[in-house]
């Protein structure tokens, strides 16, 4: 009985550590993306996600505000259980950036549009690492400076 309890405790501990590492990974990615956008903005340059996202992924998807959950699952090609918790279908303050590896969501960001707006970017099938390159453009919208990201051409 003692062995079973010990094994269960170890399993729960591993799961807790795994959940924390995903959250920590998301925070790290958010920081790296914010830093890259600021640097690109200063240099009037572009950002490359293959340099920012330092984990294995083969597709990146960008979903603008108010994207329905069904549309996201259809586009990803999988039923992603956590998509509803992002609230993307009812929010206008974020873009949802989702990274997929082997048809599984491996990381995602609820990226604030005020730090860099990806809302005008849409590519069916997502972006492969080599194609996930975006120009950072500063614009005046409604008397405010707004940072737009556009697909690099």
Does 16 have pLDDT greater than 70?
Answer: no
Using the Cα atoms of residue 91, residue 130, residue 53 and residue 45 in order, give the sign of their dihedral. negative
| Annotated domain spans of the chain | 2-151
Give the pLDDT confidence score for residue 138 in this predicted structure. Answer: 87
Tell me, yes or no, if the pTM score tops 0.75: yes
- Please say whether the beta carbons of 67 and 123 come within 8 A: no
Task: Provide the CA 140 distance to its chain's centre, in angstroms.
Answer: 25
Query: Mean pLDDT, the chain, as a whole number?
Result: 86
Both ends of the chain: CA-CA distance in Å? 63
Lowest mean pLDDT among 18-27, 66-75, 140-149: 18-27
Residue of 100, 90, 84 whose CA lies nearest to 64: 90
Which of these ranges, 49-53, 64-68, 70-74, 139-143, has the smallest mean pLDDT? Answer: 139-143
- Min mean pLDDT across 77-91, 123-137, 138-152 is at 138-152
Residue 87 has a CB neighbour count (10 Å cut-off) of 13
């Amino acid at each position: 009985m003692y062995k079973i309890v010990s094994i269960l405790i170890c399993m729960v501990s591993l799961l807790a550590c795994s959940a924390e590492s995903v959250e920590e990974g998301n925070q790290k990615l958010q920081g790296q993306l914010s830093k890259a956008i600021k640097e690109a903005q200063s240099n009037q340059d572009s950002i490359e996600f293959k340099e920012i996202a330092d984990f294995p992924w083969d597709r990146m998807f960008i979903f603008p505000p108010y994207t329905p959950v069904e549309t996201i699952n259809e586009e990803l090609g999988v039923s992603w259980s956590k998509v509803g918790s992002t609230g993307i279908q009812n929010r206008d303050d974020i873009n949802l950036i989702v990274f997929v590896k082997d048809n599984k969501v491996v990381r995602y960001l609820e990226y604030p549009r005020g730090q860099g707006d990806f809302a005008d970017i849409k590519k069916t099938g997502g972006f492969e690492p080599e194609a996930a390159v975006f120009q950072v453009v500063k614009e005046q919208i409604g008397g405010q400076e707004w940072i737009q990201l556009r697909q690099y051409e």
